[in-house]
Structure 1
């Protein structure tokens, strides 16, 4: 993969194509992740599923992804970004095909497992490749575009998916056939990427993602940031459709998808607008937005208020965007290139484990006590995680700044 972008402001020629191809892989990964969101209410109705089972469909994806990251987290640092992304998109294609053909929940669960495998193999190397191409000078821009790309994928999943479920034939399947066509188009683009690190392909062996000791503090802060954003995503993507149906009072999948897509649009806009905001400021704003968003959601559930649910969508989008971009920004700033994919895998591993556990926990709570009970229980836990992310980033960034000043003082002396 080309490495000479650091000296320029924007990629050009082959670099630009590679950069945007990797951005499309990120969008595709999150589209794949959220593709079932508008369909969950139909699964629940047609197959008589409980909230626990529907959230389990969602949770299989991040939990399988965690296993993949544990075993294959640093794969692309050895065999190359392109090869790992190709393997990942191929696995995603299998998963989407299983959804497109699924006659029952068993097929869907296996399809989710393949989706987790595919995203686990492609997400970290695609993100690392974007950071490689952008270079440290443009790390904020790369992080913003990475965040916006994931949001675009989720908009397609919820808005286009909702329209296809509501207005097109075969509501349980057609949205996946459309996604499958896009998957094939993206894998063609990935195939055209330049080969990289092929000479090391024979030296890879399964191992846990490794993080240099000097990076543990920064990686820990980044992991808590991305975990906070993914916990927010778990609420929106696993239960958002059912909460929306309850509050909107309509079973129109497009309307529900449009309401959920509002959060994703906010994620993209905030990511692009805030790329020059210092990380410490961003996480403070993100923590406040997360606290306000769950206040709005608790009140929305209690008062059956669509307006408050819309406020939750907007504020949660702000929190998700700033936390996710801040986590990626920390990695791109501190992790050296030869450790970058493994470092990102460690960050994603923690975040997806939190997301899967959050979805299962809230689904179990919703099955026992209803959606309002799940919201009441989940809100303080996720707000607490957001506050922990804020504290971790402030401590790490202040510590780095202090050590930097001390080094400059020694050099000057």
Structure 2
């Protein structure tokens, strides 16, 4: 060894290859000729995952438009935002590991079909009640898809590029959020019917993703326990528990950051900066996840533990800059802070998934990712819901600044944990080097 950090262990791929070659779940039939090759299935599955995340970010710039058109109070915006996180979390608890038992394809196909239903509900919406209902259905569909998509990407990745599967699995939801917010913002700014354009496009993307999933090879064999797996629980594979516990502060910090910009930034632009621009709303929501996705992809080969440390440094620095921008009503500072913090978000979250993904066996990988996204979306939704209630009590500006402080504190805890693990790894590596040197006589 020459590095100060151990490399991630190789993901076990033999069960996957046996499944792909023998068709364990998908028995041979006339439609087998329509099956995609693993490489095409990997690319198509990644794009379908991006579409799921794109739909998460898209409604945010439209919420302000709905409020202007229908005249409902601001706290209902927070409800519409938070109901998605709540239904997603409940679904993760119930169905997060279902695909480990019945296969990836059935779960993904059902989730994507449900996404189409949610998009049609958005299109039919005539008041905020419809929007809340559509977000609820969307939350269920996304909760069923998140851990399954991530596990499927790791398993479909080329044999020598398993880390790429984990990286795409971590950057797809982040990059999709950015694309969705920017797409919706541009539609609001430059088209007469943004709702129709956004949700009709998403419905078509989900329909295409459904076709990809149905034509993709299955990556896990059916096994007993599907009904028992629906009992709500959070169970992390034994091999990953210690590492998962150390990752929790990082997940909280990064997804609190996502909640700040996706849930509150349109209200901040309106209430603090007195700006009502669909393009600006989309841009400020999109900036952190867009930069995060790029950072996660660019740093794929960087030592994962070191990346988590520097990622948390970037988040702390970014929210400090963004907080200064909010306090002083300086829009350039807000955007600079969003970019810096977003880079830390993508780098830290992606690196943590690279560390965790190889630790779970194939038939428990969806369960691991369900736990990851459960913690992440609790951090994404709960603080934003609390912030929505606090706005009515203490005002928008104190709430927004308090939110940035809370993110900085969580990031500092995560930084401390990851820095200690990095130092321990380096000490262990140094000791092993010293022990391997044979003294000269």
Aligned to 2:346: 321
SS in 2 for 1:200: coil
Aligned to 1:241: 266
Q: Map of 1:214-293 to 2, 5 A cutoff?
A: 214-246=239-271, 249-293=274-318
Aligned to 2:151: 128
SS in 2 for 1:3: helix
Q: CA deviation at 1:400?
A: 7.0
Residues 1:64 and 2:87 aligned together: yes
For residues 349-379 of structure 1, give each alpha carbon's deviation from its aligned partner in whole angstroms, at most 9, with x where no partner exists: 1111121101101212223333211122112
Q: Is the 8 A contact 2:314 2:343 kept in 1?
A: yes
Q: Distance in 2 between matches of 1:266 and 1:330?
A: 21
For residues 159-184 of structure 1, give each alpha carbon's deviation from its aligned partner in whole angstroms, at most 9, with x where no partner exists: 11112122222344432122111111
For residues 16-61 of structure 1, give each alpha carbon's deviation from its aligned partner in whole angstroms, at most 9, with x where no partner exists: 1121122123212211211211112112222333333212211111
Instruction: Identify which of 147, 165, 172 aligns with 1:142.
Output: 165
Q: Distance in 2 between matches of 1:201 and 1:168?
A: 51
Q: What is the RMSD of the two structures over their aligned residues, measured on CA atoms?
A: 2.9
Q: CA deviation at 1:244?
A: 3.0
Q: CA deviation at 1:235?
A: 0.6
Instruction: Identify which of 395, 403, 412 aligns with 1:378.
Output: 403
Q: CA deviation at 1:62?
A: 1.3
Q: Distance in 2 between matches of 1:329 and 1:397?
A: 15
SS in 2 for 1:250: coil
SS in 1 for 2:37: helix
Instruction: Identify which of 165, 182, 185 aligns with 1:159.
Output: 182
Q: Distance in 2 between matches of 1:36 and 1:368?
A: 26
Q: Is the 8 A contact 2:309 2:348 kept in 1?
A: no
For residues 219-245 of structure 1, give each alpha carbon's deviation from its aligned partner in whole angstroms, at most 9, with x where no partner exists: 223343233221111011111222234
Aligned to 1:51: 74
Instruction: Identify which of 313, 328, 333 aligns with 2:358.
Output: 333
Structure with a larger share of its residues in helix: 1
Q: CA deviation at 1:101?
A: 0.9
Q: Map of 1:151-190 to 2, 5 A cutoff?
A: 151-190=174-213
Structure with larger Rg: 2
TM-score, normalised to structure 1, is 0.89
Q: CA deviation at 1:396?
A: 5.0
Q: CA deviation at 1:75?
A: 0.4
Q: Is the 8 A contact 1:82 1:195 kept in 2?
A: yes
Residues 1:3 and 2:28 aligned together: no
Q: Distance in 1 between matches of 2:295 and 2:399?
A: 28
Q: Is the 8 A contact 1:73 1:341 kept in 2?
A: yes
For residues 228-276 of structure 1, give each alpha carbon's deviation from its aligned partner in whole angstroms, at most 9, with x where no partner exists: 2211110111112222345664322023313432323311221111112
Q: Is the 8 A contact 2:84 2:139 kept in 1?
A: yes
Aligned to 2:4: none
For residues 92-113 of structure 1, give each alpha carbon's deviation from its aligned partner in whole angstroms, at most 9, with x where no partner exists: 2211211111111111111111
Aligned to 2:5: none
Unpaired runs of 5+ residues, structure 1, are 6-12
Aligned residues: 406
Aligned to 1:192: 215
Larger mean CA deviation between 172-181 and 348-357 belongs to: 172-181
Larger mean CA deviation between 236-245 and 192-201 belongs to: 192-201
SS in 2 for 1:195: coil
